[in-house]
Amino acid sequence: MLKKIKHLSLALPLMVGAISVQAKPLSLERIFDDPSLSGKSPVQLKFSPDGSRVTYLQGKSDDYNRYDLWEYNLKDNTNRVLVDSAKLFSGPENLSDEEKARRERQRIFGKGILEYKWSKDGKALLFPLNGDLYYYDLASAKSKKLTDTETFETDARFSPKGNYVSFIREQNLFALELESGKEIQLSKDGGGVIKNGMAEFVAQEEMSRMTGYWWSGDETKIAYTRVDETPVKEAIRNEIYADEVKLFNQRYPFTGTDNVKIQLGVVKLNDQKVDWIDLGKDEDIYIARAKWLNDGNTLSYQWQNRSQHKLELRFYNSETKAQKVALTENSETWINLHFDLEFFKRQKTLCMGI
């Protein structure tokens, strides 16, 4: 790890590059305008799984807000563009209100390639562009378009073994088999007030849970949430622009008012059958976290009451449908959530921060 950090510290100046500008007076408009006065900087730096390279996103020299996918090779100390976003798509994006809100909550700004993921074997990269998904193969240095629809595919990721790509489309959960290109629709009632595999407003804003689905390690199942926003009242939200103000209706869970109704289920890829987990009689709850154990059959999820005074770590066996409470945490005020939960592979032991 120290070696990686050393390589990265040497690489950063090369990524940013030298910027030579003539000194001139700065106006208030320029100080707060894009691009930043520091110039274009790399974002979303990630080591490849084998540690041989660092990938990152960087704005174009003539358009700092349009990002391309780059790599820095640790062996020969060179930078190169892997994917030029403008060559794949250069027009304006028409974002839905849902996608705008998702990007804002995740602090995703700009255009072009704004996020990407490595495959576990380090042979490919997955990224969205203009609502469609692309697969970049490092061996051939070519990008392949996986989806071509009028709607946006979001929250895309590789399955644990890299045989599938999963995503959300029109509030439903899908999996795409990479070898055959076959799409598998795993939920079908999404739309309107029903959202499958998507984190609800409170989960995103207050719990930092930005997804609503989780792959099992053996790739045979996906756990996902089904959210019904019917109980949540609509409010009027305004967006202020330089020359106009737009008004939108949005379901917003004000303090003390009704929250969404949430279900947690496990769907099998082979037959798309869903088993819904019994979450108890109290429906006014949160699903704070979910994570599969290494056996591929046991799903852990963190159940929290509305007041956030109580948190239960529950284990659900997807084969026997049995479940148990493994750990309970109580607080007189509230319980702070975190992501410090790991399951050991060779022992039936967990490590959890409290």
Is residue 55 in a domain?
yes
User: How many domains, the chain?
Assistant: 1
Rounded CA-CA distance 225/299 in Å is 13
pLDDT value at residue 6: 57
Backbone torsions φ then ψ of 9, nearest 5 degrees:
-65, -35
Is residue 95 in a domain?
yes
Is residue 308 in a domain?
no
Rounded CA-CA distance 18/186 in Å is 49
Closest residue by Cα to residue 48 from 115, 108, 138: 138
pLDDT value at residue 242: 84
- Counting Cβ atoms within 10 Å, is residue 296 exposed (0-12), middle (13-18) or buried (19+)? middle
Rounded CA-CA distance 73/111 in Å is 25
pLDDT value at residue 20: 47
Q: Which domain holds residue 104?
A: 1-15+35-126
Rounded CA-CA distance 135/141 in Å is 10
Is residue 328 in a domain?
no
pLDDT value at residue 70: 98
> Dihedral, CA atoms, 144, 150, 155, 161, nearest 10 degrees?
-40
Is residue 352 in a domain?
no
pLDDT in tens, the chain (354 residues): 555 555 555 555 555 554 445 567 888 888 877 667 766 789 999 999 999 999 999 999 888 889 999 999 999 999 999 999 999 998 888 777 777 778 888 888 889 999 999 999 999 999 999 999 999 999 999 999 999 999 999 999 999 999 999 999 999 999 999 999 999 999 999 999 999 999 999 999 999 999 999 999 999 999 999 999 999 999 998 888 888 998 888 899 999 999 999 999 999 999 999 999 999 999 999 999 999 999 999 999 999 999 999 999 999 999 999 999 999 999 999 999 999 999 988 756 666 666
pLDDT value at residue 19: 44
pLDDT value at residue 322: 98
Is residue 198 in a domain?
no
Indicate the pTM of the whole model: 0.88
Is residue 78 in a domain?
yes
Is residue 29 in a domain?
no
Rounded CA-CA distance 53/76 in Å is 10
Q: Look up tokens 């967990």; give the residue.
A: 350
